[in-house]
Amino acid sequence: MKSKKLSENIIKTFKSNGFVLLEPDVLLDSDYIIERSGEKFRSSMLTFDSEDGKTMCLRPDLTVASCISFLQKKSSSKIYYSGQAYRRSGNKSKNFINDQLGIEILGSKNQIQDDFKIISTILSSAKKIKRKKILIKVGDISLFKSLINALDMPERWKLRLIRHFWRPSYFEELLKRLEKNTDIDAVTFDSDKKRFYEMKKLDQDKVVAGRSISEILKRFDKKIKDPRSFTDGKKIVKIIASFLKINCKLSELDERLLDFAKKNNLKKNIFKDLKSILNLKRLNQDVNFIANFGRDVEYYTGIVFEVYSGKKEIARGGRYDDLLKSLGANKNIPAVGAAINLKNI
């Protein structure tokens, strides 16, 4: 009964802020989701084959499901939902059913206003849920993209780093490759380098697979040095690592970013689009900015946040301006949303 009453109070808050109920479908085409919203969901999906041969899944994410319903039903642009998402987890003790209450602004007309609307509405709901101290963590994927695009390195590297930012382990592997000024992965690089020095001790005129050892070594040498590489990889990695270490109160962010730009000889205005995140100062709430944050969801493009009550995460969300187009819209449709995790209340 307590949980039901809390849910009802949260929904009242959603309605009073202008959000309208949308009930997204429970069953979705799994191939459609994977092709259009990324590989993130593949391993976590609960799938089955339908009678017509399609691979279907229980919705793994209510934001994606809501976006699909929005495109199909042409519903209100300010929606709320109450329901369950179904995902496998590496943790066997973790329930695969996630009860959520969420809100989305789809076709967001004013980024600054709508980002604030989503977070302030969630915050109002959170204050009704818990009496413990509320803390908000925020990041901004767009600031990372601005940094990468401002750095002097080949476009292929910029695209890689931005594309794989949401995959921390692989991203770190990319940084190792970049640091060594090579387009091949670190394991292959080290293996080739070792083999290179072993072959240098052999008879250089000996023929292997139709080529002399000396000819093979010339190819190895090119591969190791990577003619497509550039010489500033180590410096670039140091700058990126320094940015990802930024962790401060929101009130200090402007100064920290200016100091970062100055220390790394970057233009002062590379982080010029800070209005939306700095607008969160109006919340009159503890807000921490963490540059290395919000990287576990592939479709986020801008501000990302989590709301904590004590040590428990009770809500999370962010901006995802590319998702609706990837799901079938004719063009990018700005969007921002968040969900409350009912199991933590």
Name, in order, each residue with C-beta under 8 angstroms of 186's C-beta and a sequence gap of 6 or more: 173, 176, 177, 180
Name, in order, each residue with C-beta under 8 angstroms of 74's C-beta and a sequence gap of 6 or more: none
In three-state secondary structure terms, 72 is: helix
- Alpha carbon 299 to its chain's center: 6
Q: Would you tell me the crossing angle of helices 111-129 and 2-16 to the nearest 10 degrees?
A: 150
Residue type at position 226: D
- Alpha carbon 3 to its chain's center: 30
- β-strand partners of 86: 97
- Show pLDDT as tens, one digit a residue, over the chain (345 residues): 456 788 888 999 999 999 999 999 898 888 887 776 666 667 778 888 888 888 888 888 889 899 989 988 776 799 999 988 887 766 655 667 888 899 999 998 899 999 999 999 999 888 777 667 888 999 999 999 999 999 988 888 898 899 899 889 999 999 998 888 766 555 555 555 667 777 778 888 776 544 677 877 776 665 555 445 566 888 999 999 999 999 999 999 999 999 999 999 998 888 888 889 999 999 988 899 999 998 878 889 999 999 988 888 889 999 999 889 888 888 889 999 999 988 877
Neighbours of 292 (CB within 10 A): 15
The two tokens of residue 322 are: 């590319």
> Rounded CA gap, 196 and 213, in Å?
10
Listed by start position, the domains of the chain span 1-108, 157-234
Entry pTM: 0.79
Q: What is the Cα gyration radius of the chain?
A: 24
CATH of domain 1-108: 3.30.930.10
The two tokens of residue 142 are: 């767009």
Alpha helices in 226-274, H assignment, sequence order: 233-244, 253-263
Q: Would you tell me the crossing angle of helices 168-179 and 186-199 to the nearest 10 degrees?
A: 40
The two tokens of residue 250 are: 């929101």
**Half-sphere exposure for 29 (CA within 13 Å, toward CB):** 11
> Rounded CA gap, 129 and 107, in Å?
29
> Rounded CA gap, 59 and 38, in Å?
14
The two tokens of residue 288 are: 């921490």
Count of residues making up the chain: 345
